[in-house]
Amino acid sequence: MTTSQEQLLPATSRALLHRIAVAQAEGRAPSLVAAVVRDGRTVWHGSRTSVGGHAPDETVQYRIGSITKTFTAVLVLRLRDEGLLELGDPLEKHLSGTGAGEATIAELLAHTSGLAAESPGPWWERTAGSLRPELSDVLGEQPFLHPSGRRFHYSNPGYTLLGALVEKLRGAPWEDVLRREVLEPLGLNRTGTRPQAPHAGGWAVHPWADVMLPEPVEDLGRMAPAGQLWSTTADLARFAVFLAKGDDRVLRADTVREMRTPAAPPEAADVADGAAYGLGMQIQHREGRLLVGHGGSLPGFLASLAISVEDDVAAVVLANCTSGPLVSAVAADLVRIVAEAEPRIPEPWRPMPQVDDAALELAGQWYWGTYAFALRLTADGLVSLEPLSGKGRRSRFRANGDGTWTGLEGYYAGELLTAVRRPDGTVDHLDLGSFVFTRQPYDEGAAVPGGVDPDGWRGSDSL
């Protein structure tokens, strides 16, 4: 057992150690290693192992399975940001002859393409990739199980297609592009497609006896973009910081925010669990906390990466067993322990550096019919509109530089907010996608659709 608790209180560190110790013992994992990130730095590392006198540290590699998909998604978003493709493009526009070209790139990223979950047999995770040398071998004769864009259906072959797309547009193997464009810029020197010592061995633990069986280590070939990578808690901690904050050398902050935004309609079971999927990232609500990241598994290995952007806390959990501890729950608990025991201290309030007079004029209370709303200027230069009751439609808006603002989220995402002025220059009302907001409920002096009864408001005697 090893631990490091720099910057965390002793009680917090002990709670983290207790959580992973219970997970390793009850889950019967040969080893389990974890890390916690706060404020952009690793602040805790711990591990438990069945091997006496030896424990993995933050440099030991484990297979991370489908966390690989998030790396592949980053490469695709880089292509989009460079203008080489649009997310709405059908795959056929850039990669022809696959038999699945009607699916759009966004649908492949969000698992709404309708493709099957797995490649036709034999079990691809436990057999050599050389058995599936071509995309047609990965997809099979009937790659689609559902109409494209209609439902979320997790698809490993979909990410194989995205890897092939990256190779086509970059003119280089997926592995080389990943190393050059993501791993090296972010300093992920212990992440790669093949194990490099020190690395953990993968084990199957017998379900009814405390005995183990080694799992084979296969090169997944064409399926590599869906689950090939090996990594460490140290590297995945750095990757978590990138997914929360962005890095202009790889992806801007607004693009990684887009990856973290739900892009797929959840299944009924997922709604009950508070789960959704973005562009290469899983999204889940746990005990009132929004977590983003991804999980992964391959025979012999389990992995989970969970990030709470609001708390600025992330956790990585890796284990070397086929089944055992529910590492996604462990990662979520590590985030919760730190966020609750040592809540984030907010930055000091400071006045805005510059005043947007046009926006400031609009600040205050507005009414959509009889619903009261507040329009506020935020420190990051945005405008927020939210109901005073605390419930209902709300959104932040980004200034377009021409006196209009564009909604960023929720019902008003993409909708235009405009201040409509009278001939004398004063504001008559706000127009938000045809909805009229006035300074008073049904303001008779404003252009309210349908007009306002000339007799005005009245009491019960008028009923």
Contact 405/416 with Cβ under 8 angstroms?
A: yes
Looking at domain 2-341, its CATH superfamily turns out to be: DD-peptidase/beta-lactamase superfamily (3.40.710.10)
Please state which of the four CATH numbers 2.20.200, 2.20.25, 1.10.150, 2.40.128 is assigned to the domain occupying 357-462. Answer: 2.40.128
Same fold, 2-341 and 357-462: no
Contact 243/250 with Cβ under 8 angstroms?
A: no
CA distance 130 to 224: 12
| Residue located via tokens 């212990």 | 190
pLDDT of residue 269: 67
pLDDT of residue 271: 65
Residues 6 or more apart in contact with residue 108 via CB below 8 angstroms: 91, 115, 155, 158, 159, 161, 162
pLDDT of residue 157: 97
pTM of the predicted protein model = 0.89
Burial class (CB in 10 A: 0-12, 13-18, 19+), 196: exposed
In 191-288, which ranges are E strands? 203-205, 212-214, 230-231, 275-277, 282-286
CA distance 177 to 198: 24
| Residue located via tokens 């999927």 | 277
Going by C-alpha positions, the residue among 380, 240, 254 that lies closest to residue 313 is: 240
- Cα angle vertex 42, ends 282, 279, to 5°? 20
CA distance 398 to 408: 7
CA distance 274 to 124: 30
Per-residue pLDDT 10s for the chain (463 aa) are: 444 445 899 999 999 999 999 999 999 999 999 999 999 999 999 999 998 777 899 999 999 999 999 999 999 999 999 999 999 999 999 999 999 999 999 999 999 999 999 999 899 999 999 999 999 999 999 999 999 999 999 999 999 999 999 999 999 999 999 999 999 999 999 999 999 999 999 999 999 999 999 999 999 999 999 999 999 999 999 999 999 999 999 999 999 999 999 998 777 666 667 789 999 999 999 988 999 999 999 999 999 999 999 999 999 999 999 999 999 999 999 999 999 999 988 889 888 888 888 899 999 999 999 999 999 999 888 999 999 998 889 999 999 989 899 999 889 999 999 999 999 999 999 999 999 999 999 998 899 999 999 888 988 876 7
The full set of domain ranges for the chain reads 2-341, 357-462
CA distance 122 to 117: 14
| Residue located via tokens 């789960």 | 275
In 137-216, which ranges are E strands? 203-205, 212-214
